[in-house]
Each structure stands twice: as structure tokens, then as C-alpha cells.
Structure 1
Amino acid sequence: MEELKLNNKGFTLIELLIAMLIVLIVMLGLLKGILEYNKFSIRAKMKDKATEIAKQFTAYIESLPYVSDGSGIQSILYANNSSWNNVICNSTSCSFFESETDFYNIGSPTGTNPIDGLSSKLRLYPSSNNVNAQCSCSGSNCPSTLPVCTYEGFSGKKIYLAVNIARIIDDYGRETGKAASVMVWYFEPFTNTLKQMTSVVIKEKR
């Protein structure tokens, strides 16, 4: 009777090493994809939180009672800088939308010092780099209690807020309203790129 010969040939050491190398390359690719997705997710969370802070502070500005310059009432709605004291806004144009670019300028913060080099024309700006630090207020008639300007972000990054106030007058020099530029910025996690968003609130004098 002819004996049945079994093929007992297995993987050689080289074949085993090649297989392990292929598995390692695949695993590294998957790991890189997971890490990149995690970074993307954190950046998206940072943007969402900054957007929410901007919305909440815009609503806060809208909720404040109107205060005219010269009234003596303490409020952040005073136009603190001479550049914004005589903004003319009428039915055809609002000059600060067209020419007063500094109205929307936070200055030149850096990734190593996100609250350094801020514009001297800001009404409210971060007082420190600590989370939940109150705003500092420049100019006259600042309220004794100020909102927060430094917020917790993600991956060790923080979110910052600043405000400019403009006094709107008509062609006869009468104050007709205020404009508030709410600026939120942060340095994006992992890329350290400066990101800024700005919203404008117009308050009419009634």
C-alpha cells in the first residue's frame, strides 16, 4: 500500500519576518489615522467652544442697557478710544465698517504669549493668561464687576476675548447708537495657528 505523504512544510523565518513587517506597517497606518482623527476632533471642539463663547458674549452685550457717552454711568458701552468717539452712521453708510479696520483688530498676540501685543484700542481685553480671569477695561467709566475674558480650551490651549466699542452719531453730531466688536481668538492645538472670529452688535439709542 502506497503511503500518503503529508506536506509538513511551514513558514520559513524570512516569510514570518515579512508577514510581521506587513502587519506592523498596517498597524502603524491605522494608528496614524486614529491620531490624526483625534487631532481633528480636538481642533473641531476648540472651534465649537470659541464659537459658543462668541455667541454668549454677543448675547451679553445685547442684554446690557444702553448707556450714552457722557452720562457718567459705569458701563463697558462707553467708547474708550478717540478713534471710535465720532463714528458717523446714516442711511447710506457706516464709516467704521469701511475704514476703521482697527475696530476689529486684536493686535499681534503670539503662540508663546497669547495676550501679549494686544491693541491699545481695546475696551475689554484679557487681564491674565489664567482660566476664568476677568477682563481688564481701558478708558473711563469702567464697571467694577467685569466679565471673563480667558477661557479653558483643549490640549492646554486657552480661548481669549476682547471688545471694542464705537459711538455712532448722525450728521448733526447726536449720538444714535453704539457698535460693539466682539473678538474671540485662540491658537489652534497641534498647529499653533492663530484663529479669530468677530461679531458685531449694533445697539440703537432709544
Structure 2
Amino acid sequence: MSRLNSKGFTLIELLIATIIVLVVMLGLLKGILEYEKFTTRAKMKDRATEISRQFASYIETLPYASDGSGITSILYTNKSEWNNVQCSSTSCVFFEQHPEFYDIGSPTLSNPINVSSNLRLYPSANNAGAQCSCKGGNCPTTLPVCTYEGFSGRRIYVAVNIARMVDDYGRETGKAASVMVWYFEPFTDELKKMATLVIKEKK
């Protein structure tokens, strides 16, 4: 009798140990999945930051285009209020007082390219590799890509606003470009945005 009781107790111990191992394994699996999600979100952010830098560098390499020159370029504003931005030698309050200069519009997860009408460049389509559309006059025939592949089936988008800077006498001194990048974060669906300001001085 004591031998049977001993065997039964051993089976219960084995069952309890198995359950404990399963619980631990489920916890580990959940941790691995959460880490994978975290890694994917980090990769998405890094990719968006890289695209922002590349696009800013692209604008920096463009030849300067003065208003009235008739040169085809993206360096013209698409909003009349941004044609005469006055800046001092040390600061430019315009960019602080006009947050709409960094406004991409109202993108949603179902319509991520629902953008502002003020933009000079904006995504033409939601498919990766789609070129930018250009609004306003003197648009180049060849435009850069504005929609990029991200991670987990999500895409990264770019738009650009342009402002014309002038001195106290109304003479053009340069152009300012706001490079805006956005995406919907994998797994959380949160809208993430970043903006980079590029100043091109007239020489």
C-alpha cells in the first residue's frame, strides 16, 4: 500500500513540475514576442530617421532657385504667406510661430497620405517606391521617392514645405525646407512624426 501511495505522489509531483515548466515557457515566449515587437518598432524609427537624413541631404545638394528665375525646382513655396519670411542674423521666430509649416495634414491608418494642401512635395501613392507629387509652379519632371517600405507591412512617408526668406528690404536671402517624415508604428498603430529644417542660403 505504501508503495502505491509513493508512486501516486511522484506522478502528482511530475504533473506540478510540468505545469510550472509550461508557465515559465509561456512567460519566456511572451517575453520573446514582446522583444521582437520592440525590435521592429526600433528598426522602423531608425529607418525613418535615415530617410529623413537622406532627404535633407538631397535638398542640400539641389542648385539654388531664386523666385522669379523660372528654374524648375522644388525650392518654391506653395503658400503665399510663406513667400516673405523675415529672419534676423541670430534667430527666425517664423518657424516657432507657424507650426503649420511642419504640418503634414491628417493621415490615418486607412489613409496615410491624407496630407495638407500647403505641401510642396507629398506622396503620390501608398505603394513603396512611389514618387512624390509636386504642387505649384516650376515643378521638375523627375521627382524623388516619397513612399518607402518599412517593417511589418508598414510604410514610411515624406513631405516637404518650402518658405522664402527675405531681409528687411524684401530681398531674397534664402529658402527654408521642412522635411517631414511619418509612419504608423507596427503593433501600436500610433502615428509617429519627425521634421528636419534645411536652410539654403542664396549666394
TM-score by length of structure 1 reads: 0.93
Q: Which amino acid aligns with 1:163?
A: V
Please give the alpha-carbon distance, in whole angstroms, between the structure 2 residues aligned to 1:93 and 1:47.
30
The share of aligned pairs that are identical, in percent, is 74
- In the TM superposition, 1:92-131 aligns within 5 A as 92-116=90-114, 118-131=115-128
Which residue of 1 is the match for residue 175 of structure 2? 178
Offset from partner CA, 1:109-145 (integer Å, 9 cap, x none): 11121112x1110100000001000000011110000
Which residue of 1 is the match for residue 37 of structure 2? 39
Secondary structure, counterpart of 2:43 in structure 1:
helix
Please give the alpha-carbon distance, in whole angstroms, between the structure 2 residues aligned to 1:79 and 1:69.
9
Please give the alpha-carbon distance, in whole angstroms, between the structure 2 residues aligned to 1:155 and 1:93.
41
Please give the alpha-carbon distance, in whole angstroms, between the structure 1 residues aligned to 2:148 and 2:100.
24
Answer whether contact 1:108 1:119 (CA < 8 A) is retained: yes
- Of the candidates 187, 192, 197, which is equivalent to residue 194 of structure 2? 197
Deviation of 1:75 after TM superposition, in Å, equals 0.1
Are 1:144 and 2:141 counterparts? yes
Q: Which amino acid aligns with 2:120?
A: R
Secondary structure, counterpart of 1:52 in structure 2:
helix
Which residue of 2 is the match for residue 3 of structure 1? none
Please give the alpha-carbon distance, in whole angstroms, between the structure 1 residues aligned to 2:81 and 2:42.
36
Secondary structure, counterpart of 2:21 in structure 1:
helix
Answer whether contact 1:69 1:78 (CA < 8 A) is retained: yes
Which residue of 2 is the match for residue 81 of structure 1? 79
Which residue of 1 is the match for residue 132 of structure 2? 135
Deviation of 1:9 after TM superposition, in Å, equals 3.6
Higher mean alpha-carbon deviation, 103-112 vs 121-130, is at 103-112
Secondary structure, counterpart of 1:33 in structure 2:
helix
Please give the alpha-carbon distance, in whole angstroms, between the structure 1 residues aligned to 2:131 and 2:103.
20
List gaps (5 residues or longer) in structure 2: none
TM-score by length of structure 2 reads: 0.94
Q: Which runs of 4+ in 1 moved over 6 A?
A: none
Offset from partner CA, 1:62-116 (integer Å, 9 cap, x none): 0001001111010000112112111111225424222111111111111121112
Q: Which amino acid aligns with 2:131?
A: Q
Answer whether contact 1:181 1:201 (CA < 8 A) is retained: yes
Q: Which has the higher helix share?
A: 2
